[in-house]
Amino acid sequence: MLKTKSKITQTADVINVHLNKLIRLYNLGKFKIVLLEIDKIIGLFPNSHQLLNLQGVCNAALKKYDLAIISYKKALKIKKNYTEASNNYAGLYYTIGQELLRRNELDQALKNYKEAIEIRSNYAEALNNIGIILTKQGKLNEAVRYYNEAIISNPNYLAARMAKLNILAQMCDWNNIELDYQQILELNSNEELGLLTMFSLEDNPNKHLIRSQNYAANNFKQNA
């Protein structure tokens, strides 16, 4: 004798039918229609983290960022370890950060990148971009810390390694430059990279000498 499906299983089956239909519409770029359809059925399935996640994705695609955030928060409240919603939620803050960075609104971009890594601590691209902003703001030691975190999250992240190496050169941190340079060469085994050609140093050697002397003096004071 066949066992009847449980109510939970039946509900999941119904949700999946709706989801398959909605995802097809989403893939066709019909974001507004998907949102209208979700509005019709969300009352029947208020605890569907999948519907809420899709709602967030569609709102994000339409640049309705505040509504997308609400949907992702609801989805994650229902299912805390919902990786897809978590990644989408972090990705939304990263996208906002990108838009702000392009407009050179550094403080607001930084705020959004930090929101992204609060949600997803190993978000290498967000960590790298925090490093870029801190570099622009002249906060070199802090920038190096974020580049290091980006590299830990993704050891093959060449852009983060190159950016860090440039900062080490600006700081005249010769102790760490050689190690980082060798690691970059390992990642770029097909290319020959000259050590000095990788740095954005002044052409004037006297300026570079003065900077090195200042760094040595400051470092001596810190260790004295």
Note the pLDDT of residue 224: 47
Contact 150, 131 (CB under 8 A): yes
3-state secondary structure the chain: CCCCCCHHHHHHHHHHHHHHHHHHHHHCCCHHHHHHHHHHHCCCCCCCHHHHHHHHHHHHHCCCHHHHHHHHHHHHHHCCCCHHHHHHHHHHHHHHHHHHHHCCCHHHHHHHHHHHHHHCCCCHHHHHHHHHHHHHCCCHHHHHHHHHHHHHHCCCCHHHHHHHHHHHHHCCCHHHHHHHHHHHHHHCCCCCCCCHHHCCCCCCHHHHHHHHHHHHHHHHHHHC
Q: What is the pLDDT of residue 203?
A: 43
Contact 50/14 with Cβ under 8 angstroms? no
The 10s digit of each residue's pLDDT in 114-138 is 999 999 999 999 999 999 999 999 9
pTM above 0.85, yes or no: no
Determine the pLDDT at residue 130: 98
Q: Which residues of the chain have pLDDT under 50?
A: 1-4, 192-204, 222-224
Residue 131 is predicted with a pLDDT of: 97
pLDDT at site 5: 53
pLDDT score of 9: 63
Q: For position 7, what pLDDT does the model report?
A: 55
Q: Which two tokens stand for residue 15?
A: 């949700």
CB 93 within 8 Å of CB 60: no
Q: What is the pLDDT of residue 194?
A: 47
> What's the pLDDT at 197?
45
User: For position 208, what pLDDT does the model report?
Assistant: 53
